[in-house]
Structure 1
Amino acid sequence: MASNGSSTTRPLIGLTTYAERAQTGVWDTDFALLPYNYVESVSRAGGVPVLLPPIEHGAEEVVAALDGLVVSGGADIDPARYGHQSHPATTATRPGRDEWEAELVRHALPRDLPVLGVCRGAQLLNVALGGTLHQHLPDVVEHEAHRPGPAVFGATRVRLAAGSLAATILGDDVKVPCYHHQALDRIAPALTATGWATDGTVEAVELPGHRFVLGVQWHPEQDADDLRLFQALVTASSAASHDKEESQ
């Protein structure tokens, strides 16, 4: 791990990225990319961001080198992963990324590596552990407030279960930025729902018995004034790093 110039070290936090066609300058080509506010959030919270492009191998080695993991937002998860046919509103899936992130999670959990799932990341965590998704949330809640329009974030009030990890960090009630048309449906048996929007949408899930495994349906990286989730992840990752060093 990299030193911050003191007697302690800053934990390495992996950030999953998109593999997308994009343009910059004179180039129009394939990129591994991620909105920079994820990077800033982890860095400002005290971690060292490490970008993880979706590839076909190496998840075990990557996890072994990390102190914490953020599974970021992005495209819809391929419904074939949870045994459903595709809804007309499910578009632009990225099966290769789904597989890569599921492998990261599969290797992270036995190591008790701290994991924060953001929006799609919360959905991926649920699907990887055996849950399912609502493929088009407006069909369920009969409104589009969770994704008001293209590139427009909604504002969702979330109630968090008292005593949960999320509530310990954020309090029992929080207003958050959201942008999603899918959501958790059947919760994976290992997970516990700990946050709900006023319309009943599950907004947070946790994995009991682990140091820090939290999925949130909203986008904490969009609120530059509230780093609490990222700070909690970094704190847990620092503890995980210390424990790893002690065991070596």
Structure 2
Amino acid sequence: MTRRIVVAVTGPRRGAFGPRFLVGCALRWYGAQALQVRPGDDLSQLQYDAVVVTGGHDIDPVIYAAEPEVHPKYDAERDALELAVIDDALARNLPLLGICRGAQLLNARRGGNLFQELKSHRKMTSNRWTILPLKTLNVEPSSRLWRLLMSDNCRINSLHNQAIDKVGEGLIVSGRDLDGIVQAVEDPRKPFLLGVQWHPEFLLFYRRQRLLFQALIQAVRSAAE
């Protein structure tokens, strides 16, 4: 009997039930099991085949050697946990999907940095948060994201007030919004390493959004074969 694929789903010690649940639903839809990983868990005792780093609080700018420009609520223990999980995934070439802060943390770990506020950078798009697909994603041709979505653009949601500025080492931009703000990064050298600024777990009624989770799991199966 084939062992079921296990995907580590990171998040805060408490809360974020909705996003965790929806990510878990998407993974189960494609035959994988979600392993919820929280601060305080002993990573050395956990076994997983892929990683989803979920959204949440802004990351501490000390991670990318910057002074705070705004003063949101940081979660230091979550930052530490997820950096360790990202390091493990990178070291073992595990498929990884970073969602919102997950994409930002991946970028920072690769030596990139962030815009700490976006309102001043927006001219054509709203700074309003919404789980509804009211913003346009322009996908870079020939990117993995383009091959996955098979479209030059699609509709996405927006729940972030920070975003990638300088892109980290080995990452390329595979999607931007109408203001040119980075919405997706990927590493074409890895089996599957993708960070998206939007929240696909809230858009599972769109097949294109579900495909992000399917591709993550398929990357595990392909590696095993």
Which residue is equivalent to 1:195? 175
- Give the residue type in structure 2 aligned to 1:234: I
1:231 is matched with 214
Identity across aligned pairs (percent)? 33
Q: Deviations over 1:21-58 (max 9, x none)?
A: xxxxxxxxxx6856321111111122111100123x74
1:8 aligns with 2:2: yes
Counterpart-to-counterpart distance in 1, 2:6 and 2:168: 28
Unaligned runs of 5+ in 2: none
Gaps of 5+ in 1: 1-6, 21-30, 244-248
Distance 2:190 2:5 in 1: 18
Q: Does 2:187 correspond to 1:204? A: no
Cα deviation code 1:214-241 (max 9, x no counterpart): 000011001122311011111112223x
Q: Which residue does 2:43 correspond to in 1?
A: 59
Q: Say whether residues 1:125 and 2:106 are aligned partners.
A: yes
Residue identity in the other structure for 1:59: L
CA distance in 2, matches of 1:61, 1:145: 44
- Seen in structure 2, the aligned counterparts of structure 1 residues 19 and 143 have a Cα distance that, compared at 3 Å, is farther
Paired with 2:96 and 2:175, the residues of 1 have a C-alpha distance of: 17
Contact 2:112–2:169 (Cα < 8 Å) also in 1: yes
- The corresponding residue for 1:4 is none
Which of 12, 18, 41 aligns to 2:26? It is 41
| Correspondence for 2:87 | 106
- Label 1:60 to 1:165 Cα distance change in 2 as closer, same or farther (>3 A): farther
Q: Of 10, 34, 57, which residue of structure 2 is paired with 1:75?
A: 57
**How far 1:187 moved relative to its partner?**
0.6
- 1:176 positional shift: 1.3
Distance 1:34 1:18, change over 3 A: farther
| CA 1:32–1:222: 2 relative to 1, 3 Å | closer
CA shift, 1:10, in A, is 2.8
SS in 1 for 2:184: strand
Matched letter for residue 194 of structure 2:
L
Q: Answer yes or no: is 1:168 the counterpart of 2:162.
A: no
Q: TM-score, normalized by length of structure 2?
A: 0.89
Contact 1:212 1:236 (8 Å CA) reproduced: yes
Count of residues in Structure 1 that have an aligned counterpart in Structure 2: 220
Question: Is the contact made by 2:131 and 2:202 (CA closer than 8 Å) also made in structure 1?
Answer: no
CA root-mean-square deviation: 2.0
1:158 and 1:224 mapped to 2: Cα distance? 16
- Larger Rg belongs to: 1
Q: Which segment drifts farther, 33-42 or 227-236? A: 33-42
In 1, the alpha carbon distance for the partners of 2:16 and 2:178 equals: 36
Please give the TM-score of this superposition, normalised by the length of structure 1: 0.82
Is the CA contact 1:54–1:100 (under 8 Å) kept in the aligned structure 2?
Answer: yes
Which residue in the other structure is 1:159 paired with? Answer: 138
